[in-house]
Amino acid sequence: MTREIHQMLPCLSYEDAIGNYCQYLRSVLRRAGYRSEIYCDTFHPRLAGDIVSFRRFRDDADPGSVVLYHFSVGSPVTGFAASVPRHRVLIYHNITPARYFLGVNDFLVAEVLAGRHELAATASAWQMALCDSSFNAEELRELGYQNTHRLGIPLDLARYSQRPSPPLLRALRAAGGPLILCVGRVTPNKGVHHVIRAFARFKRRHEPRARLAIVGLTTGFEPYHKSLRQLIRDLAVGDVTITGHIELAELLAYYCAADVLCCLSEHEGFCVPLIEAMVMNVPILAYRAGAVPETLGGAGMLVDTLEPLEVAELLARLVRDTALRASVLSGQRARLHRYRAAAPETSLWRHLSDLLGMPIGPVGNATAGGAARSAAAPSSARQSPPPSLPPLAGGGEVGSLRDAHSAQRAVDQAVDSGSSGQELCS
């Protein structure tokens, strides 16, 4: 019987959607009694000692183990993962089209083009493919993938019950005026330029004291960041903040102070900030593109245009119309209930059971089982971490599993009672 379920990916980043996914899923697997490691090529320095080089996998992992390979860009790791003599499962997070990065990040253009080629070339190598969304799954089916399923993204909702940064939250609330929030990596496909144009109209026509906070990593996309700064100057719009990468406590402060989350992304394979806004009880205005409608699941407010004036009008309605806000927030709480009930973690066990032809799931106490076995991993693997990447600004520490369980219960109770996520901000 399989007692090892590992993950592999080219690069493990700190506090991004895929990085958080991997670390949370590893904790789920270990608590269920499985030995579980994350194997990668490069990693953020704050994760040093927490990962293993993918080059150690063949010697380190049991021959009967399962490897879950996270795919979002091209990498030599893909060919390695597709050829290891183990049970191979692809987890597909989508590949952003290269056109969005032309003139912004030439290295990333090459990576995503290579990724498209690798995705098609290795279709027959994977025994199963699991996807964040039906949008992603359809892409794979068009490439000839057979055993393909929608999994969703397992999210550690307990993260969002941590205390937001007190000084930042006080400052944001003291500033006055509605706060429009845009969360995600600051890249062209995320449509941050659309948000700025719509905000400029909203501020001029409806709320002169309005503020816009753009929260997300800018590193690697400096030309786009520069163009956004120029756009802000050209529009002569004030009160716009681009934070760069920040700590979790600071992100929570922005959610606590926000009046609307505005997502005008043109390409999404899931869009985690939509779920974050639901947890934090922030009304959502989002552009209908990619997997966004699926992730919202009928909640939030979808817009079919990127025309600044029309988006500005909808922002004004969400800020001012209390009945509309209440209706939108009620729908988001219902969607969050459904998301939690769908339990991607449970779906993972079911799909792996089908793949292996035997029951797969919790096999014992984490202390006596997977966690202990992980701690006893071969010393050679522990001594061969991949090379680290240059550090990013900000980032927060992840609490213990015991704290996470308590925090998760707090989130569950808040959502089950229908209470506002903003109550977690007090």
143 and 164 fall within a common domain: no
Indicate if 51 and 110 belong to the same structural domain: yes
pLDDT at residue 151, rounded to an integer: 95
- Picking from 1-15, 146-160, 225-239, 412-426, which range would have the lowest pLDDT averaged per residue? 412-426
Q: What integer is the mean pLDDT of 201-217?
A: 97
pLDDT for 422:
60
CA 109-115-121 angle, 5° bins: 145
In a domain, 256, yes or no: yes
Please state, in angstroms and rounded to a whole number, the distance separating the CA atoms of residues 317 and 327: 12
User: How confident is the model over 281-305, as a mean pLDDT?
Assistant: 98
**Total domain count, the chain:** 2
- Of residues 103 and 412, the one with the higher pLDDT is 103
The pLDDT value recorded for residue 1 is 67
Q: Where residue 209 sits, what CATH number does that domain have?
A: 3.40.50.2000
The answer on pLDDT for 285 being more than 80 is: yes
> Do residues 125 and 37 both lie within one domain?
yes
Confidence grade of residue 187 (pLDDT, cut at 50, 70, 90): very high
CA distance 229 to 244: 13
Q: What is the pLDDT of residues 218-230, one digit of tens each?
A: 999 999 999 999 9
Tell which residue, 103, 106, 97, has the closest CA to residue 189. Answer: 97
Do residue 140 and residue 183 come from a single domain?
Answer: no
- Same domain (yes/no): 188, 312: yes
Q: Which helix (H) or strand (E) holds 128?
A: strand 128-131
Asked if 130 and 258 sit in the same domain, the reply is no
368 and 238 inside one domain? no
Residue range of the domain that includes 215 = 159-340
Do 110 and 60 share a domain, yes or no?
yes
For residues 189 and 320, state if they share a domain: yes
- What pLDDT does residue 425 have? 81
117 located within any domain? yes
CATH of the domain at 146: 3.40.50
425 assigned to some structural domain? no
Q: Quote the mean pLDDT of the chain.
A: 87
Q: Given the structure tokens 């070339």, which residue do they identify?
A: 121
- Percentage of residues of the chain with pLDDT beyond 70: 85
User: Rounded CA gap, 400 and 100, in Å?
Assistant: 38
Predicted pLDDT at 362? 77
Higher local confidence (pLDDT), 382 or 118? 118
91-132, pLDDT tens digit by residue? 999 999 999 999 999 999 999 999 999 999 999 999 999 999
Q: Based on the domain organization, do 136 and 9 belong to the same domain?
A: yes
